[in-house]
């Protein structure tokens, strides 16, 4: 929260939920299913950028999801779900158009409730 105050933006506790592959046996039945991997992070939800609005598949309810890189172990891709644990935008968000910001302080992507 101190970093958010420094940047003038509210960051909320969150986590990235990485889905894991299901393993099937030779007959196509589920052999094992692991629990999703949860990684803590700090998240900001903001208005969608112009680039996000111009991209294919944009909906008027889409938002910008910003994750502070220093608070997330590992990388981020569009297979993950971001869950904001508190604040006005609490809930699960599917992400797309993920990229590092130019200063490499965080990950930014388009988010949609899901």
| Distance from C-alpha of 96 to C-alpha of 78, rounded to nearest angstrom | 5
Average pLDDT, the chain: 86
What tokens does 83 get? 């869950």
Question: Residue 34: pLDDT above 90?
Answer: no
Overall pTM surpassing 0.85 (yes/no): no
Question: Residue 8: pLDDT above 60?
Answer: no
| Distance from C-alpha of 106 to C-alpha of 67, rounded to nearest angstrom | 5
pLDDT digits (tens, 9 = 90+) for 54-63: 999 999 999 9
pLDDT digits (tens, 9 = 90+) for 63-98: 999 999 999 999 888 888 999 999 999 999 999 999
| Model pLDDT, residue 9 | 66
Q: What percent of the chain has pLDDT over 70?
A: 89
DSSP 70: G
Instruction: Mention every residue, 6+ apart, whose C-beta is less than 8 A from residue 45.
Output: 12, 63, 64, 65, 66, 84, 87, 88, 89, 93, 111
């Amino acid at each position: 929260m101190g970093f958010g105050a420094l940047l003038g933006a509210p960051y909320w506790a969150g986590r990235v939920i990485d889905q894991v592959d299901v393993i099937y046996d030779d007959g196509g039945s589920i052999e094992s299913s692991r629990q999703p991997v949860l990684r803590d992070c700090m998240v900001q939800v903001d208005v969608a950028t112009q680039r996000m609005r111009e991209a294919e598949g944009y909906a008027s309810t889409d938002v910008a999801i910003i994750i502070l890189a220093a608070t997330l172990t590992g990388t981020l891709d569009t297979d993950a779900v971001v869950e904001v644990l508190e604040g006005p935008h609490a809930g699960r968000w599917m992400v797309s158009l993920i990229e590092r910001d130019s200063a490499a302080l965080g990950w930014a992507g388009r988010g949609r409730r899901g």
